[in-house]
Structure formats: structure tokens, C-alpha cells
């Protein structure tokens, strides 16, 4: 039953993301906000998670109140998403975006740590649990694309709020291991941050940061980019569908990849493939060709989130699973997403989408080269328990 509810949770949760997430920038454009305002709305809010996420996950670990924090997160998310269509000015929407991002970002590591706990020695199956999110995102994105085209952007937020409510119900079945995490070592000062003393983990966070920038600019500005190419909402929805369908085989077989190459190598590969995707987006002129580029999505965000979550769990100090997941998500969904959203808005306005993607492609490849050189110079990473040894 644990696997069923984990799969179901991700199915509905990412369905909700598909409902309202891709349409926020189009909603801002409909309100005639400037590129700078849109950049602030997309970029500043995630930056708040740099401070909020460690506080929330650390509090949950220290007090064993993971379920309470999860409940609070969903209540705030549902209220925020449902309130979006009721607002039409910049400042209230900025406040709402900050609130939504704080609790949305908190729900991700809390769910990941709970699912890792429930999987126990079967962590290699995490990719298959995450596959539920891919399927849910694919189905909902197609339906919402058609609904938005015929009924307007606001219906995306109503649908997202409803789906978040059902995700909230599914989260009630999660086990966070509160009782199991009570051990004396948890009270040692500085213990949660011991993982940051590992230079290899810091390089991993740099890759996660790079991935956060990349995925933020792709997910946030893909629709405006396609709109400039002349695509309609139906093709935009189809682009999301194609991008999510290709995740299915990748997530199903990711456990085999990790056993053969290890989690760190999979993270690096995902960032390299993201750079390739940027270069292709920079040269595409036909919106139908974007559908072909979307085939690379399976090797981008899914691989980073799955391999990254497992690596973070492997490196987590005893009793601080949620904290380790929170640190990883700060790099990806906090700092990375904030800079990607803000810089993306400025670049989109100043140089256009094609040049924006070209510059990001160069940046991504540069980070990979830097990480590879530094990792080569560093002493070899100490062996840690692998998935293969626990199955």
C-alpha cells in the first residue's frame, strides 16, 4: 500500500502543477505586466525558499512534526492557487507568489523524505513512484491546454486548486517516520549541516543549482517562446504532453542506470542533456520542431530529481532526511529557480528567447566542465552504501 499511495500522491500532485504552473507567465502577460515585473514574480519568490525551506524542514526533523507541516503546506497552497484569478495587480500577486512558493517548495522535500522512509531498502524504486507524477502531468496538461484555449487562463488555477485538495487527501496516507527518527544524536549542534563539509556534496549542489536555473527558464518561458514562434495553446499543451510521456521509460528504468553508473554520474548526465536541449531550442524556428526537442525532457529534470533525491538521502545525517532533501531543493527550487526566473525575464526582454537559450546552453556546459575539473582534482569520494547493496 505504501507504494500505491506514493505513486498516487505524485500522480495528483504533478497533475496540479501541470494545471496552473505553465500558465502563470501567460496570466501575467494577459495583465500586461512588463518583463521586469514578470521576472520579479517568477524569480524573487523562489529566492525566499533559501531561508524558508531549511527552517521548515529543520523544524519538521527536530520536532518530528512532518505531517503537521505537510498539512499546513497544502492548506496554504490550495488557498493561494484559488486566489490567483481574483487578483489583477502586481503587488498582491507578488505577495501571493511568495506565499505559494514557500509552501509549495516545502511540500517537495517533505514528501520525498516520507517516500524514502516508506520505501526503506527499496529506494531504487523511487523513480517508479515519481513516474506517477509524469503520468499525471501528461494527462492533465493535455486536458488543461484544451480547456484554457476555450475558457481562458483562469480555469487553469481553479483546476489546480481542486487537484491540490485531492493531493492533500493522498498525503494523509504518508508515513514520515517521526517515531523512528527520535535518537539522541539529533540534538547535537551542527549535525544537520555536516553534509555541507563534503566538497563532493557541494559540487552536487552546484549541479543542482545549475539544474534549477535551467528548468526554471524552460518551464517558465517555454510557452512565451512557443507563442513567439506562432504556436497556439493546444500545441503548447501537446509540447508538455510529449515532454512528460518521454519521462515514462526513463523513470521506469532509472534504477538500473543508477546501479550501473551511480547517482552522481546520472546527475551530471542530466545537466549535460539540458545544455543540449538549450542549444536546440536556440536554433528551432517551427513550433512543431519544439515537440521533437521536448523528447529530451526525459533526460533532464526527471533524472536530476530522482538521482538527486536518492543521493541526498544517502548523504543525510541520521534523523535528518527532510533537512538533506531541503538543502538539495534549496539549490534547485530556491536559488536556482529564483535566478533562472529573474534572469530569464530580463534576457527574454532584452535579447529574445533564442539568444536566451543559447546563452544558457553555454552557461550549463561551462558549469559541467568546472565541476568535472574540480572533482578530478579532489580526493576520491569515500564509498557509501549504494542502492545495489541494499536490495
Provide the angle, in degrees to the nearest 10, between the axes of the packed helices 126-151 and 2-20: 30
Which residue did the predictor score with more confidence, 269 or 258? Answer: 269
pLDDT in tens, 41-82: 877 777 788 888 888 888 888 888 889 999 999 999 999 999
Long-range contacts of 251-257 (CB under 8 A, 24+ apart): 251/127, 251/128, 251/130, 251/131, 251/134, 251/298, 251/302, 251/306, 252/127, 252/128, 252/131, 253/127, 254/127, 254/302, 254/303, 254/306, 254/307, 255/124, 255/125, 255/127, 255/128, 255/387
- Distance between CA 312 and CA 322 in Å, rounded? 10
Q: Is 375 helix (H, G, I), strand (E, B) or coil?
A: helix
User: pLDDT tens-digit profile of 327-343?
Assistant: 898 898 778 887 887 88
Q: Please give the Cα distance from 137 to 247 (Å, whole number).
A: 11
- What pLDDT, on the 0 to 100 scale, is given for residue 184? 44
Maximal C-alpha separation, the chain:
60
Fold category of 2-176+195-381 in CATH: Growth Hormone; Chain: A; (1.20.1250)
Give the mean pLDDT of 314-320.
76
Q: What angle is formed at CA 161 by the lines to CA 152 and CA 173, rounded to 5 degrees?
A: 150
Of 240 and 254, more confident: 254
Give, in order, the Cα–Cα distances in Å from 115 to each of 75, 262, 377.
20, 20, 35
pLDDT at res. 25:
86
- Using one digit for the tens of pLDDT, what is the confidence trace for 262-291? 888 899 999 999 999 999 999 998 888 999
Residue 186 has pLDDT above 60, yes or no: no
Q: What angle do CA 155, 109, 130 make, to 5 degrees?
A: 70
Q: Is the pLDDT of residue 384 over 70?
A: no
Q: For the segment 4-19, what is each residue's pLDDT rounded down to a tens digit? A: 889 999 999 999 999 9
Phi-psi label, residue 341: left if phi above 0, alpha if psi -120 to 50, beta otherwise: alpha
Cell of 213: 536555473
* Stretch 210-215: mean pLDDT: 91
**366 has pLDDT over 90:** yes
pTM: 0.75
Q: Is the dihedral of CA 230, 231, 233, 236 positive or negative?
A: negative
The pLDDT value given to residue 323: 83
Amino acid at each position: 500500500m505504501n507504494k500505491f499511495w506514493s505513486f498516487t500522491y505524485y500522480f495528483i500532485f504533478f497533475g496540479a502543477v501541470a494545471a496552473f504552473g505553465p500558465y502563470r507567465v501567460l496570466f501575467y502577460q494577459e495583465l500586461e505586466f512588463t518583463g521586469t515585473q514578470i521576472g520579479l514574480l517568477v524569480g524573487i519568490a523562489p529566492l525566499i525558499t533559501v531561508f524558508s525551506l531549511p527552517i521548515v524542514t529543520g523544524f519538521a526533523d527536530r520536532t518530528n512534526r512532518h505531517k503537521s507541516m505537510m498539512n499546513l503546506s497544502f492548506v496554504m497552497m490550495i488557498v493561494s492557487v484559488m486566489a490567483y484569478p481574483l487578483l489583477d495587480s502586481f503587488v498582491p500577486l507578488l505577495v501571493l507568489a511568495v506565499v505559494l512558493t514557500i509552501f509549495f517548495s516545502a511540500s517537495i522535500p517533505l514528501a520525498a523524505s516520507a517516500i524514502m522512509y516508506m520505501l526503506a531498502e527499496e529506494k531504487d524504486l523511487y523513480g517508479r513512484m515519481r513516474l506517477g507524477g509524469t503520468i499525471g502531468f501528461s494527462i492533465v496538461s493535455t486536458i488543461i491546454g484544451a480547456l484554457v484555449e476555450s475558457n481562458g487562463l483562469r480555469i487553469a488555477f481553479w483546476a489546480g486548486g481542486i487537484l491540490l485538495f485531492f493531493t492533500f487527501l493522498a498525503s494523509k496516507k504518508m508515513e514520515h517516520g517521526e517515531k523512528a527518527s527520535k535518537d539522541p544524536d539529533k540534538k547535537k549542534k551542527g549535525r544537520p549541516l555536516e553534509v555541507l563539509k563534503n566538497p563532493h556534496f557541494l559540487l552536487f549542489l552546484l549541479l543542482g543549482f545549475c539544474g534549477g536555473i535551467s528548468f526554471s527558464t524552460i518551464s517558465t518561458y517555454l510557452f512565451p517562446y512557443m507563442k513567439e514562434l506562432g504556436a497556439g495553446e493546444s500545441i503548447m499543451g501537446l509540447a508538455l504532453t510529449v515532454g512528460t510521456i518521454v519521462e515514462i521509460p526513463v523513470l521506469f528504468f532509472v534504477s538500473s542506470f543508477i546501479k550501473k553508473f551511480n547517482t552522481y554520474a546520472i546527475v551530471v548526465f542530466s545537466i549535460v542533456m539540458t545544455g543540449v536541449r538549450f542549444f536546440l531550442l536556440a536554433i528551432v524556428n517551427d513550433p512543431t520542431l519544439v515537440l521533437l526537442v521536448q523528447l529530451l525532457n526525459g533526460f533532464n529534470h526527471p533524472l536530476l530529481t530522482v538521482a538527486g533525491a536518492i543521493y541526498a538521502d544517502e548523504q543525510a545525517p541520521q534523523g535528518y532526511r527532510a533537512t538533506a532533501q531541503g538543502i538539495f531543493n534549496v539549490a534547485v527550487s530556491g536559488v536556482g529557480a529564483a535566478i533562472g526566473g529573474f534572469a530569464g525575464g530580463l534576457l527574454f526582454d532584452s535579447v529574445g528567447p533564442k539568444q536566451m537559450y543559447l546563452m544558457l546552453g553555454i552557461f550549463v556546459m561551462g558549469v559541467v566542465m568546472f565541476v568535472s575539473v574540480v572533482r578530478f582534482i579532489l580526493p576520491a569520494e569515500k564509498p557509501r552504501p549504494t542502492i545495489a547493496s541494499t536490495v
